[in-house]
Amino acid sequence: MPFECPTGGSSPLAGLVASKSRCSTSMATARRFCASGPFAGPVFVSRSTNYLLTSGMKYVDVQLLTGQHLYVAVDVRCKVADIFDCVCAHIGTQMPRLFGLCVRIENEYRFLELSQKFSKCTPKNWSKSGGSGTDMLGQPSVILYLRVHTYVDAVRIISCPIALLHYYMQLRENLRVYWSPEWVREEQCYEATALALQADFGDYNENTAAGTVYFSPELYFPSWVVEYRGVHFLRRHTPTVHQDCQGMDPQEARYRFCEELSTGLSAVNVHLYRLKRTKSEQFDSILLGIGPTGIDVFEPKQDNPRALLDGKIAQKQCSIYGVIDGTTAISNGETLIQSSDGKITTNGCDKIFPYV
């Protein structure tokens, strides 16, 4: 599903994705060779999973933020960094530091350490089993996700168009997941969608949009807006706000979209993790936010899902339990925080993650 756009038509976004993410015409030219210590083996992007692989190689599905799937053939002895470098080279990003590879566990994305052996991140016996790592339909059984690992507070430092595209797609997804009616006004959703449509389609064209599925509201609006207004209403009225962006370059629209979603209380350039206040709690009651400005601890309430937990209470009374992946945040080009894998049991939220 390219760039999550069901129209099937051409757009500036479609052209940008196609120009940078087109598979090579030959397997040889698509190869990227690993250089992890004494081992040097092939890791390459394939058009499909129909190619026969040599012994010790398997297919992995890497899902991009644009909605595309990359079938990557990997040697089971490779490291996560080998796959990551191959994917970044294939899509053409010049700013790989912004991204990382994740697995999805219990509806949360958890980043993998690049130095890890990839076989340590896969199901038991996956590397030793026969076959090419695919199911009966030819789909890889192991799925990885390329996602934003490092959020920034100044979006315009992202000078690579491909990096900006994926960063923009991450914030677009975060908007749908994070924004709630207690958090933002409905008008903000329309304003953000107008910029997103300008970024994806360029100037609104009445002739092109007439008689077609112009866009899918579910891909641009939070679910509560779609449920409240309905798909038909949003398809009918959203083009009006899209026309307000007439003449804006799609690249500029991506920058402005990211800037709008990176400021104020409605900012979504943050990793949110659900944690427990104490071991005895049955459900998660605390949100830990990791972003460019550091760490915030939230205690969601009915009227305010992003209510900050009082700092003194957080330090003196709050033992937080949960699993956090290796997430980094950057402010003004400097690394602020680096988390580590494992269970967090420290008293004092200021001690959870050391500043580096």
Contacts of 346 (CB under 8 A, 6+ apart): 319, 320, 352
- Strand order through the sheet with 150-151: 150-151, 328-331, 334-338
Q: Which amino acid is at 236?
A: R
96-142 residue pLDDT tens: 999 999 999 888 899 999 999 999 999 988 988 889 999 999 999 99
Which has more confidence, 216 or 348? 216
| Average pLDDT of the segment spanning 203-231 | 87
Cα 219 from Cα 231, distance rounded (Å)? 11
- Residue 99: strand pairing partners: 148
Give the position of tokens 């659900």. Answer: 274
Q: Are 222 and 170 in contact (CB under 8 A)?
A: no
Q: Which amino acid is at 172?
A: R
Q: Which amino acid is at 331?
A: S
Whole-model pTM: value is: 0.79
Which has more confidence, 343 or 93? 93
Nearest C-alpha neighbor of 101 from the set 143, 160, 59: 143
Q: Cβ-count burial of 8 within 10 angstroms (0-12 exposed, 13-18 middle, 19+ buried)?
A: exposed
Give 155-261's CATH code, choosing from 3.40.1390.20, 3.40.50.1980, 1.20.80.10, 3.30.300.30. 1.20.80.10
Nearest C-alpha neighbor of 172 from the set 261, 305, 295: 261
pLDDT value for 318: 38
What class does CATH assign to 36-148? alpha beta
Token pair recorded at residue 224: 């509560």
Return the number of other C-beta atoms located less than 10 Å from residue 345's C-beta.
Answer: 11
Which has more confidence, 279 or 166? 166
Cα 233 from Cα 207, distance rounded (Å)? 20
Total length of the chain? 356
pLDDT value for 18: 57
Q: Tell which phi-psi region holds residue 46, choosing left (phi > 0), alpha (psi between -120 and 50) or beta.
A: beta
Give the least confident one: 8-22, 233-247, 264-278, 306-320.
Answer: 306-320
Start and end residues for every CATH 3.10.20.90 domain found in the chain: 36-148
pLDDT reading at 229 higher than 60: yes
pLDDT value for 154: 95
Which has more confidence, 155 or 180? 155
pLDDT value for 19: 56
- Residue 57: strand pairing partners: 75
Token pair recorded at residue 50: 């129909």
pLDDT reading at 6 higher than 90: no
Start and end residues for every CATH 1.20.80.10 domain found in the chain: 155-261
Token pair recorded at residue 302: 């009915």
